[in-house]
Structure formats: structure tokens, C-alpha cells
Structure 1
Amino acid sequence: MSLIVIVLVTLMAGIGSVWVADQLVVRAQVIRRNDGHMQQGLLSLAAGALLATALLHLLPEAFESGAESHDLFLTLLVGLVFFFFLSKAQLWHHGHEHSHHEQDHHNTGWTLLVGDGIHCFGDGVLIASAFVADMRLGFIAAVSVLVHEVPHHMGDLVVLRQGSPRSAAVRKVSIAGAMTAIGGIAGYTLLDQLWDWQPMLLTLAGSSFIYVALSDLIPQLRQRRTTGDTSLQVIWLLLGIGLVALVSEFSHVGHAH
């Protein structure tokens, strides 16, 4: 019975956070293809959310775990190099099928989804470990995961919709979200072994978000150099950082372990 509950709850947390993020994006009417300023703002929001998720949530949690800092920094370096090679491999594979602009978004999408899948898998392990300790703690952890995933899923959807329609972007992120359930199953059956790897998973996921923000999003934002555009980008960037920081602060109790 416990495993069934874990699977259902992790699915709700993983995919539910994608649905909530999509509804917030759509209902706020922030996706307007004919509004260049709004798109620039959203890219800034996505960059801020991804960087904040990595630097204010994932990496601090990894370093607070007690793991060797040298090992974590090495994992971060390996992750950045890995996602660089992943983007190059995808660029080479699709070199004769898409334009350069389409290639960039396709490669970014793969990098984002791989990192998101690793992150969601780690969340599933966390939820499973909480359920094993106490049923109520498991539900608290699941709600915490759902809430703190919403801001960076909004960033994911903004990035992915640059090269895909809304339905495709939602499906892609939902697949990554479903990794939460897989992590829950693995965590329930292999908790002791996987828990030792949790800091590495957090660091690897963080490396993907940092790579996407710095290699794809920030360079796009640098193309607009007027004072008004720059001011708008800074405001949205800070909004993305603040949103993640605020949500992480409120959901921190669910991640206590």
C-alpha cells in the first residue's frame, strides 16, 4: 500500500507542478508572440528562475548534506562539460534538418529536460524517504516539491515554447515531471543506496540549469542594449530570482531531512 501511495503522490507532485505552472503562464497571458518586450521579459524571468533554482536551492542543499565539497565541485564541472557535449551532439545530429535558430532551441530543450529529469528523480527519492519515515511528513514533502517546482517549470515552459507549441512544451516538461514517480519507486526500494547519491544528483541537475541560463538565455538578452530594454530585463530577472527564493523559503520545512 505504501508504494502505491508514493507512486500516486509523486505523480501528482511532479506532473501537477507542470500543470499549475502552465496555467499560471497562460492565465497571466504572458506568452505573446507579437510582443517582443514581453518575450524578452519572460526570457529574463526564466534565466533568473533557473539560476536561482540552481544557486539558491539545489547547490546549497547538496553542500549542506555533508558531502565532500571537492566531489560536488567536480560533479558540477563534469555536469557543465557533459551538457556542453550534449548540446554539440544534438547540434551535429540535426545539422541538416533545422535552421540554426531552431537548432539552438532544440539543443537547449534537451539540456533542460535532462537536468529537469534528474532533479525530479531526486525529488521523488526525497518524497519516498519522507513517507518511509512518517506518512504525514511524506505528504508535506510532496506539497513542498509541488510548490517549489512551479517557478522553474514556468521558466522551462517559456524556454521550450520558443521552439515548440504550447502542447508539445507541456508534454515534454510533464515527462520530466513523471521522473518524480520513478524516483519515488527507486527511493522506496533502494533508499539507502540512492540517498548517498542525492547530493550528486542535486549538483548535476543544478549544472544543467546554470548551463542553459548562461549559454542560451543570457546571450539572447544581451542582443537588446537600449536603456529601456536593459531595465526591463533586470526587473524580470530579479523577479524570477525573487519568486524562486520566496517559494523555496516557504517550502523549506518540507525539505528538512
Structure 2
Amino acid sequence: MSLFTWILLFSLLGGVLSVLAAALFLLIPGFTRERLLPHFVSFAIGALLGAAFLALLPHALGGTDDFHLLGMTVLLGLLGFFLLEKMVLWRHCHHEVCEAHTPEPHAHDNHNAAGTLILIGDGVHNFVDGVLIAAAFMTDIHLGIVTALAVAAHEIPQEVGDFAVLLQSGFSRRKAFVFNVLASLTTLIGAGLAYYSLADMQQALPFVLAIAASSFIYIAVADLIPGLHKRVEFSQTVQQIILILLGVAVIYLAHSTLH
């Protein structure tokens, strides 16, 4: 199987298949879904941090001698994603109601705009995911698989939240599903463009991996972890730690086994 085929298949896993999984998840009764979703989020945190620190950054460090520039790239990546989130182009919502997406009760126009912004932000984010997956595969096929798994781990709970916002914005279930699938196709576009644009720029790959790591770190630390602090019971904290460690362990085992 060619490298390009690997990239397309696993970009599909991180994009369209995540939407399908989220759509099936929405079929679960609301109360049960609300209880299960935080557990998926905890696992996603571990998967993202594991992929960033155990896979992406080590490969990035191994691909260049300019560690100072690489560290600066990670820092600038974190600041860049902060600015994107400020512009509501990177906002993730892993709950059916969140302050970034819930409009005022009387603001009907804002209500509809929330759904549109979600689709735009999702499309941009999926495009970037495609670029990162392609860069990882072009560095090492095993790294690409681990990166795609980490993307899928956090895309599923994100898509569940996005579906909820679209439904609240007046989209029908069918329309929300179709538009979410269309937004997810930008993953393939990003992967395809990255494959051809980075093919002759091997020296740039370590820095793209550094941006991928900063993306995963930012999503885990700035977006997902604050939601866990809403559940302060000791039993909930123990469950969160166990699931985070499980996410890290899955990435570690996948990366070590593939190698």
C-alpha cells in the first residue's frame, strides 16, 4: 500500500469515521450519553498528551539539530491556537451546553450563527488535522497511525458536542449529519495538499510535527482539562486519572508495538 493511500485512509479515520461514531453515540439516551461523555473526554486527554510527548516531539527532536527553533515552534503553535480559539475558529465543545456556543435565549440570529460558526471552525480544524496526519506519515508510518488515533480520540467527543450545538441552532438531525460530514472532508483535503506540498520539504517536517504536538497539548490542557474540574468528587477524580493514564498507555503501547 502506497504512503498516499495510508494517509488518505487514516485521515478518513480521523475525519468522516469520527463523525459517524459521534452520530451513533447520539442515538444513546441523553442521560446515559451525558454520563459517558466525560469518560471519553478523560481518555482523549491521555491520548492527546501521550501522542504529543511520547511520539510527536521525540520524532521532531530526532529530525533536527536546532532544538531552540523547535521549542520556539511549539511555543508559537500554542499561542497561535490560542488566537484561533479567540476568533471562534478552534473552539471545541464537549458538552451539550457551553458558554462559547450557547446564545442568549432571545437572540435567535446568534443562535443560528452559532451553528454556522461551528461548521466553519470544524472545517478549519479538520483541515489542520489532515495536514498534521500527513506530516506524521511522511516522517514515519507508525507515527502517522498513532497521530491519527489521537486525532480520532478527541474528534469523537468534539463531534458529539458539535452535533448538539447544530441541533440547538435549528438544524434537523439529517441536515446536521450531512453538514458535519462535509466539514469532516476537509481532513482529506488538508492531508492531500500537505502530501504534495511537503514531499520536497523534508527539512520542514520536524517543525510541522512540533506544531502538531502544540495542537494536541493545547486542546488537552486548555480545552478538555478545565471541563474535568467541574467534577470535584474524589471518586470522579480517581476515574479521570485512571482514564487519562489509560489514554497515555494506549498511545504508548501502540507506538512501541508498531515500532
Give the alignment's TM-score, normalised by structure 1: 0.71
Unmatched runs of 5 consecutive residues or more in structure 1: 128-140, 253-257
Work out which of the residue numbers 183, 190, 209 in structure 1 matches 2:194: 183
Partner SS for 2:162:
coil
| 8 Å CA contact retained: 1:49, 1:244 | yes
| Structure 1 residues 52 and 230, CA gap change in structure 2 (3 angstroms) | same
1:14 aligns with 2:21: no
How far apart are 1:123 and its partner, in Å?
A: 3.1
> Hey, what does 1:245 align to over in structure 2?
252
Displacement of 1:57 in angstroms is: 1.1
Q: Give the 3 Å change call, closer, same or farther, for CA 41–13 of structure 1 in structure 2.
A: closer
Q: Structure 1 residues 234, 67: CA separation in 2 closer, same or farther (over 3 Å shift)?
A: same
Q: Secondary structure at the match of 1:82?
A: helix
1:150 and 2:149 correspond: yes
Report the 3-state secondary structure (helix = DSSP H, G, I; strand = E; otherwise coil) of the residue aligned with 2:110: coil
SS of 2:161's partner is coil
Specify the alignment match of 1:59 in structure 2: 57
Q: For the Cα contact (< 8 Å) 1:14–1:146, is it kept in 2?
A: no
User: What CA distance in whole angstroms lies between the structure 2 residues aligned with 1:230 and 1:107?
Assistant: 34
The 1:24–1:88 alpha-carbon spacing in structure 2 relative to 1, beyond 3 Å, is: closer
* 1:206 to 1:237, Cα distance in 2 relative to 1, 3 A: same
Q: Which one has a larger percent helix, Structure 1 or Structure 2? A: 1
SS of equivalent residue, structure 2 residue 197: helix
Give the Cα–Cα distance (whole angstroms) in 2 for the partners of residues 81 and 110 of structure 1: 20
Q: Name the % identity.
A: 23
3-state SS in 1 of match to 2:155: helix
Give the structure 2 partner of residue 213 of structure 1. Answer: 220
1:6 positional shift: 5.1
Q: Distance in 1 between matches of 2:255 and 2:227?
A: 27
Distance 1:18 1:208, change over 3 A: same
Tell me by how many angstroms 1:238 deviates. 1.2
TM-score if structure 2 supplies the norm length? 0.71
Tell me, which stretches of 5 or more residues in structure 2 are unaligned? 92-99, 104-108, 164-175
Report the alpha carbon displacement of residue 31 of structure 1 after superposing the two structures with TM: 6.7
CA distance in 2, matches of 1:30, 1:47: 24
Structure 1 residues 31, 73: closer, same or farther in 2, change over 3 A? farther
